[in-house]
Amino acid sequence: MDTLVTNGTLLTMRGEKLGIVDDGVVAIENGRISYVGPAAEGPDPSDTDDHVDAEGGVVMPGLVNAHTHMAHTLLRGGAQDVPEIEWMNRALGPLSAHADEGDRVAGTRLGVLEAVRAGATTICEYAGEVGTLVEAVYQPLGVDVVAVETINEVPDERGDLGPRERYPFDREQGKAALARADRLFERFGDEPLVTPAYGPQALDMVSPELLETVQQHAHERGAKLHLHTAQGEREAIQIEERYGTDESTVSVLDDLGVVDESLVAVHCHGATPDERRRLAEGGAAMLGCPSSIAAIDGIVPPVAEFREYGAPVGIGTDQAPGPGHHSVFREARTAATLSKVERTDPTALTAPEALRLATVGGAEALGIDDEVGTLEAGTRADLLVVETDQLSTAPAVESPLHTAVPNLVYSTTGREVRDVFVAGEPILRDGAFVDADPEAAVAVATERAQALYERASEDWRAADPELVGAVDDGWL
């Protein structure tokens, strides 16, 4: 056997609960898990090439960051604290429009390293020209990626549009994006750590004809269709203007026949409870980004509600200019805390439920739960060792209850992750990256961000987001 992880409390995520095993063992052979269970019934430690002692820690599946736009990490801090209606077109847009390929790669590398350091082994990357990011960042780091190609027909230059002016559609732009998405399957079809998917950006950004074509391509390839769904006032206004005042995102999707098991609906905070139930009953999965949507929209995504409908639900960090971070443990805490506040119920979305969202829930929503999200014999060896004897997570006791479970959700900072394995390969050992150079990634990102902000400064001021006033008033 290649690696044996011993002396830890296992959270296997098998079944409908956490699958807790005290004094457990995980054995890894050829990139896959060969044994999970009690140490007394496990293999002999002397038979292993690499022995990982997890004493004082939890061993669990790698976290699944189920929805991200990592390139925007380069603009962290550049689009916070503005009204939702101006966040995309007037705050982030004038900055991101000046990013080149090198900027996008640098931002993605920074974000991915942050996410992995905090325990993510699978990241869903949603981007235009996503294949470039896969080859430049994800594959060299050895991280699982669900690669979603952004497909839209709306030109980038739309900062001067009023809130009720319909976006113009560029049909050739949409066709080119769909062609790039199709090529992902040829380019990465044999890569075990890459799962291609289609990403029509949102109903207000694609024509119904293109959306139906994308769905057809997804069905033909057995792939997922990731769609930002009912994601706020800006989208709702566009749908009213294009389809009529009696229509909504979900009603139009329903009429188009897009609500099915291939649909991964992202956000959904602008949908009514009846519409959310309709999505779930139609077979759609849901991805929530509570930190991002709370920061950008001031709203709580309905992750707890979707779980109650029985739909697959995962969580993601979205993009750093919203929540400011890429830690899935922190996202689990935000999801649990905001759900309690929204429902005025401290029992809403418990710590165990939040941990499932961060692991097997995200894997189910992305359609990759046969490979990741649980610790089971035969699955890919994506796993973590998290220290629970640190200042932030201690004390951890096993009787009369496992206090490590709530501590993982409510107390971790992300720095407690000690070891990260992807397909049996060590990415992080003893809190340090095995091959990657995070200091160099920070230096490159900082240099590029400074140059980008300088290039974009005039356009940013002309767009006049509220942050311009904050600068002029001496706040920023």
d(CA 319, CA 13): 27
* Residue 207 exposure: Cα atoms within 13 Å on the Cβ side: 13
pLDDT < 50 stretches in the chain: none
pLDDT (0 to 100) of residue 161:
66
The pLDDT tens digits of the residues spanning 273-329 come to 999 999 999 999 999 999 999 999 999 999 999 999 999 999 999 999 988 999 999
Alpha carbon distance 338, 331 (integer Å) = 10
The reported pLDDT for the residue numbered 195 is 98
Cis peptide before 312 (omega within 30 of 0): no
The tens digit of pLDDT for each residue in 293-306 reads 999 999 999 999 99
Question: What is the structure's pLDDT at 384?
Answer: 98
Query: Are 285 and 313 in contact, with CB atoms under 8 Å apart?
Result: yes
Distance in angstroms (rounded) separating the CA atoms of residues 355 and 404? 12
Contact between residue 267 and residue 250 where contact means Cβ atoms under 8 Å apart? no
The whole-angstrom separation of Cα 137 and Cα 105 is 7
Question: Would you state the structure tokens that stand for residue 3, as one six-digit string?
Answer: 């690696």
**Best CATH choice for the domain 63-366 from the list 1.10.101.10, 3.20.20.140, 3.20.10.10, 3.30.2130.10:** 3.20.20.140
Q: What is the per-residue DSSP string for 368-436?
A: -TTTSSS--TTSB--EEEEESSSTTT-----SSS-THHHHHHHT--STTEEEEEETTEEEEETTEESS-
Give the pLDDT score at 162.
65
Share of residues in the chain with pLDDT > 90 (%) = 90
Residue with tokens 């929805």: 67
Its sign, for the CA torsion 290, 293, 295, 298, is negative
What's the token pair of residue 254?
A: 């329903």
Angle subtended by helix axes 328-343 and 290-297, to nearest 10: 60
